[in-house]
Structure 1
Amino acid sequence: MFKLKSRSHQADSFFVMLLFFLFALTAFILVLIGVKQYKSTANAMNYNYEVRTVTSYLREKVRQNDSDAAISVETINGTKALCLKNTINDIVYNTFIYYYGGSLRELYVQDGSSYSLDSGQRIVEIGGLDMAETTDKMITVTITDTSGGTTDTYCSVNSD
């Protein structure tokens, strides 16, 4: 009779250990699912921040400066930049928006003055930026986010 009790305790102990193992395995799987979901959400938020910030920023700058021949795409020291010209008290100023050193930058200088691309104010970190004037009234901008994804945006220039 003593042997039956011993077997019963072994079976009880085995059953409790099996339940604990299943609980631990289920908890581990749930943590892995949560980590995957968190990474997915964080990547989506980062993409939205980078791309939407750059898109909104560029479109608003184009709208603000949309006047006669004030907007163009120029190459400065091998880097394509959106050039926005302003005249204040008969002095021409240029605002350059470009990609340099891992971020979108803006540089405001007097026309004809010397400057370096490193002098620009950092706006947001991105992976890259390419611009082209596709027609005389349209600028195509390709934004590369920090994870390598690309998005095209179009800025319409309405002035003549």
Structure 2
Amino acid sequence: MGGLLALLLLLVFAVCVLSVLLTGGDTYQTLTRRDQDSYDRRTAAQYLATRVRQADRADGVAVADFRGCDALELTETIDGTPYITRVYCYDGYLRELFSAAEAQMTPADGEKVLEAQALTVEWLDGDGGEQLLEMELINADGTTQRVVLSVRSGKGASS
């Protein structure tokens, strides 16, 4: 009888430990998924803002249509040759394409940066007359990130 009681007590203990582990595992997966989604959203917004800030100089930032895709065009001159970095959304990804200004490239040529459904980029007029750049990114999970930046250099010449 004593042995049976000890075995029953061990079984109850094992069931309790197993239920705590399963509950903890589900909670851990939920928190990990939530944190990853949050990280992806913050990364996308920070990526866009950083790319604009890096190119914020006279005629460095422009909004354009890149073969049917809204694109952020960041222009720079290296050793006298103009280059364009295009940031756009194509085929389920936010993409970046760096090329010579005269190069004939397609949206499929860009490097995949993050999963995303769509990117909309446009110039807005601020209350104080400054130029605001609005970028709206629809993430892979359908959530929307909106970034509005005051671009010191104003609209690019090609926008």
Please indicate, yes or no, whether the TM-score normalized by the shorter chain is above 0.5: yes
1:131 matched residue in structure 2: 120
- CA separation of 1:33 and 1:139: change in aligned 2, threshold 3 A: farther
Taking only aligned residues, the RMSD between alpha carbons, in angstroms, comes to 2.6
1:111 matched residue in structure 2: 101
Q: Which of the pair is proportionally richer in helix?
A: 1
Equivalent position to 1:155, from 132, 136, 149: 149
Q: TM-score, normalised by structure 1?
A: 0.74
Give the secondary-structure state (helix, strand or coil) at the position aligned to 2:49: helix
Alignment of 1:30-45 (within 5 A): 30-45=20-35
1:6 matched residue in structure 2: none
1:5 matched residue in structure 2: none
Answer yes or no: is the 8 Å Cα contact 1:105–1:120 preserved in 2: yes
Answer yes or no: is the 8 Å Cα contact 1:127–1:144 preserved in 2: yes
- CA separation of 1:142 and 1:16: change in aligned 2, threshold 3 A: farther
In percent, how many aligned pairs have the same letter? 27
User: Aligned residue pairs: how many?
Assistant: 149
Give the secondary-structure state (helix, strand or coil) at the position aligned to 1:30: helix
Answer 1 or 2: higher relative contact order, Cα 8 Å, separation at least 6. 2
Gaps of 5+ in 1: 1-8
Q: TM-score, normalised by structure 2?
A: 0.75
Counterpart residue type for residue 40 of structure 2 = E
The structural deviation recorded for 1:157 is: 1.0
- CA separation of 1:16 and 1:104: change in aligned 2, threshold 3 A: same
Alignment of 1:47-126 (within 5 A): 47-88=37-78, 90-123=80-113, 125-126=114-115
Answer yes or no: is the 8 Å Cα contact 2:45–2:145 preserved in 1: no
What is the distance in 1 between the residues matched to 2:26 and 2:140?
19
Cα distance per residue 1:73-128 (max 9 Å; x no partner): 222222221111223455432110112333322111222321121211233x3233
Answer yes or no: is the 8 Å Cα contact 2:63–2:123 preserved in 1: no
Q: Which has the larger radius of gyration?
A: 1
